[in-house]
Amino acid sequence: MMNVAVIGSGTMGNGIAHVFAQHGFPVSLIDINQPALDKALATISKNLDRQVAKGTLSDTAKTDTLGRLTTFTSVAEGVKNADLVVEAATENVELKLNIFRELDQHAPAQAILASNTSSISITKIAAVTRRPAQVIGMHFMNPVPVMKLVEVIRGYATSDEVTERVMELSRQLGKTPTEVNDYPGFVANRILMPMINEAIYSLYEGVAGVEEIDTVMKLGMAHPMGPLQLADFIGLDVCLAILRVLHEGLGNQKYAPCPLLVNMVMAGRLGVKSGEGFYSWGHGTKDLVLAERFQK
């Protein structure tokens, strides 16, 4: 069984660690401070409890899953025995490049280095390592334990062998891997983010209100949630960062972020993570409540 290391214990990182550990892989979960790791383990335990309550997981399987997780605050220690490292840090180019430089230094020579990036070039990341053939994108969807898709992104130098190995690993996790090439936004975000941006433009230009836009997409297009609600869940700062990658990488004005999105991010209105975006998220219920700015 491969040893897996996950860099970053936030929403995506703890979800990735959860899924690997649940499927029998020993997992090293790495973050810069222990309180973040303790919070991640508590989240994983709570999510496993939900699976037990639904009857999709036994109490024994929950215990076994938690037993496969070990936490580290040192990258060097956490990755020294890894066969696969999955980086799930903040979507910031320089941060990821620095992490991969460090991974290349400390991970075993045969280890595969994967990034959960949602938009940053795998080729660019691979170029700062001495093993570009072993660098690949492994883009999980949120929430990781629930969503089936893994976008497997081949960088310019990623080998066929590494690609097939990561595809097979994804299948072992009960996921459906889809191989894509390394161009800005890959497939998921190249299609999703312009839709979200257009929904924000529709609001910005007064075509319709928040609820109306989301209702049209939910009832008319059978989307499980509207694009503005989804943007709040993703994080408006993340949406803006991905749109900027698309705009810069493809040089097409159609990817330019809506000024309303830019202003909301500058004002700290980031969606669920900040308590307010297009909707208000601090009221303690599951009911959708419009942010005060967008109330009629």
- Which pLDDT value is given to residue 41? 97
The type of residue at 121 is S
Arithmetic mean of pLDDT over the chain = 96
Residue 14 is among the residues annotated as catalytic for this protein: no
**Peptide linkage before 143 cis (omega within 30 of 0):** yes
Give the pLDDT score at 54: 94
Question: Hey, where are the domains in the chain?
Answer: 4-181, 189-294
9 among the known binding-site residues? yes
pLDDT at 22 over 80: yes
Q: Which of 28, 118, 119, 202 is catalytic?
A: 118
Residue 219: per-residue pLDDT: 98
Distance CA 261, CA 259 (A): 5
Give the pLDDT score at 210.
98
Domain 189-294 classification at class level: mainly alpha
Question: Does residue 220 carry a pLDDT above 90?
Answer: yes
- 209 known ligand binder: no
286 pLDDT above the threshold of 90: no
Which residue shows structure tokens 């936004």?
Answer: 185
Sign of the alpha-carbon torsion through 249, 111, 168, 230: negative
Which CATH number does the domain 4-181 belong to among 2.60.40.10, 3.30.70.260, 3.40.50.720, 3.40.50.970?
A: 3.40.50.720
pTM of the shown model:
0.92
Q: What pLDDT is stored for residue 117 in this prediction?
A: 94
Helix (H, G, I), strand (E, B) or coil at 48: helix
Neighbours of 95 (CB within 10 A): 14
Confidence of residue 296 (pLDDT cuts 50, 70, 90): confident
Return the pLDDT at 80.
97
**Residue 163 among known ligand-binding residues:** no
31 annotated ligand-binding residue: yes
Known catalytic residue: 212?
Answer: no
Which DSSP state fits 219? I
Pick from 221, 204, 219: nearest CA to 278: 204
Annotated catalytic residue: which of 115, 119, 170, 189? 189
Q: In this predicted model, what pLDDT tens digit does every residue of 97-148 receive, in sequence order?
A: 999 999 999 999 999 999 999 889 999 999 999 999 999 999 999 999 999 9
Name the H helices within the chain. Answer: 11-22, 34-54, 59-67, 75-79, 93-106, 122-126, 160-172, 188-204, 210-215, 221, 227-234, 236-250, 259-266
Q: Tell me, what's the pLDDT at 91?
A: 87
Q: Which pLDDT belongs to residue 1?
A: 81
Confidence at 285, pLDDT banded by 50, 70, 90: confident
Q: How far apart are CA 296 and CA 293, in angstroms?
A: 8
Helix (H, G, I), strand (E, B) or coil at 206: coil
Q: Are 4-181 and 189-294 the same fold in CATH?
A: no
Q: Is 189 an annotated catalytic residue?
A: yes
**pLDDT score recorded for residue 8:** 97
How many CB atoms lie under 10 A from the CB of residue 208?
14
pLDDT confidence of residue 234: 92
- Helices (runs of H) and strands (runs of E) counted in the chain: 13, 10
With a cut of 80, say whether residue 267 has pLDDT above it: yes
pLDDT band for position 287 (cuts 50, 70, 90)? confident
Query: What is the C-alpha separation between 114 and 137, in angstroms, rounded?
Result: 5
Average pLDDT over residues 28-46: 96
Residue 228 burial (CB < 10 Å; 0-12/13-18/19+)?
Answer: buried
For the question of residue 77 being annotated catalytic, the response is: no
Q: What is the pLDDT of residues 144-161, one digit of tens each?
A: 999 999 999 999 999 999
Residue 284 has pLDDT above 90, yes or no: no
Integer Cα distance of 214 and 235 in angstroms:
17
Q: Give the span between the Cα atoms of 60 and 102, in whole angstroms.
A: 36
